[in-house]
Structure 1
């Protein structure tokens, strides 16, 4: 049992383990602490999102949905190995689960797998997992066919190891949602015993640097054979007074993505046509309401992959 990491401690632990991190919106104060306990914490739980696309999945996990408010985890791990932090505190990810599993995780005394669960959210003997586990949602359809790229599995391993190292836990403090509740099947596509073996090997050594993230997630960076991409200039850049080749490059990408609302152009000065075109792009990514207002945000900008211009 341990006191939860602060936002700064969590961020530092992830970065020390070589994780590429994106801080999403107000994640540091985004939680469900007002409805229940957060801590003492006992482990890490891994999930799949049953969704596709980084930007849309991150927004889903940040906001939640009707009947299950966000955050739905603490971090979203995308297919390129980037961890998007979306919550700090109690999150709606684990739900009710088996007390025998919790005891086995605390003691770290099980074999390849913890005891099979026979409790779930709402069952008589269930215990509250949202108070006890950090949660990572991994972008995957969960159908057994959607691939798990090496970069994503490496990030799952690193993020889990980072929290275990910070709390002096072993790899058996990391479980899948399917090992917690008898009604869950996630994560699907790799096995938790294999993941725990990888985490154990990592914890036995000093932290190492991760492979370079995709340049769309690391603004301005390059990798062999990949074009350099334009860093996100900040939402305040997109006003009527802005005239820049960056706006033209953005507009050309929007046209290429089938999101044009241009009668003429695109051109270098930010315009209403740019805003309406960008709103189409946001909706294509799955954003809705005020999140699809046509003003670029970091997640949608990175997904657009605007070529670098001087």
Structure 2
């Protein structure tokens, strides 16, 4: 079991990994903690946003929308590879997912198919929304993919996790397709290489 790191430590870890970090508003205290606990944390979840335009994407992930209030993640990774911190604590990003997947993440073993949604993922995962239309055609710039790997590696390094603690939303919740346009297997290989 791992307690979430402090917001200051989170920021420091991201910067130490070589990321350009943008602090958005009062991100350190912007959360959904009144809806339930955040932690213990067990992993990192990667998403795509289905949006275009970095400014719009960051604002949407910070504020949320009708029916799903923000923050929608902890950090937004834009096409230019910058990480915009929009919240810290419980965030509306993971939703309900498969308890078998959670057990596999905790044990850092191969993921089973996600076939049910019976566990609150917002409690257990750090979340990064990554700017992309999610249509399988919108490109993923190398600088953005590298930033995603660095952000996940920074968290794994802090908690002593391997790359197996990093999953895509599509591996957690039935019916989800994000992130689309690259392989989570290849992303975990990138993270593994950074952690060596």
TM-score, normalised to structure 1, is 0.63
Does 2:74 correspond to 1:74? yes
**d(CA) in 2 for partners of 1:68 and 1:5?**
25
- What does 1:1-310 align with in structure 2 at a 5 Å threshold? 1-110=1-110, 114-120=111-117, 126-204=118-196
For residues 14-62 of structure 1, the C-alpha deviation after alignment (integer angstroms, 9 at most, x for no partner) is: 0010011000011010000001110000000000000011110000000
Cα deviation, 1:56-95, whole Å, max 9, x if unaligned, reads 0000000000010000000000000000000100000000
Q: Give me the CA root mean square deviation.
A: 0.5
- Gap regions ≥5 residues in structure 2: none
Q: CA deviation at 1:183?
A: 1.6
SS state of the match for residue 39, structure 1?
Answer: coil
Q: Which has the higher contact order (CA 8 A, sep 6+)?
A: 2
Secondary structure at the counterpart of residue 103 of structure 2:
helix
Write the distance in 1 (CA, Å) between the matches of 2:96 and 2:37: 13
Instruction: State the alpha-carbon separation in 1 of the partners of residues 68 and 37 from structure 2.
Output: 17
Residue 270 of structure 1 is matched in structure 2 by none
Aligned length: 196
Deviations 1:229-255 (A, max 9, x none): xxxxxxxxxxxxxxxxxxxxxxxxxxx
- CA offsets 1:107-160 (integer angstroms, 9 cap, x no match): 0021xxx1110113xxxxx10000000000000000000000000000000000
Superposition misfits of 4+ residues, deviation over 4 angstroms: none
User: Which runs of 5 or more residues in structure 1 are unaligned?
Assistant: 121-125, 205-310
Paired with 1:49 and 1:119, the residues of 2 have a C-alpha distance of 23
Q: Deviations over 1:195-247 (max 9, x none)?
A: 0011001000xxxxxxxxxxxxxxxxxxxxxxxxxxxxxxxxxxxxxxxxxxx
TM-score of the two chains, using structure 2 as the length reference: 0.99
Alpha-carbon distance between aligned partners in 1 of 2:35 and 2:78, rounded to the nearest angstrom: 28
- The structure with the largest strand share of the pair is 2
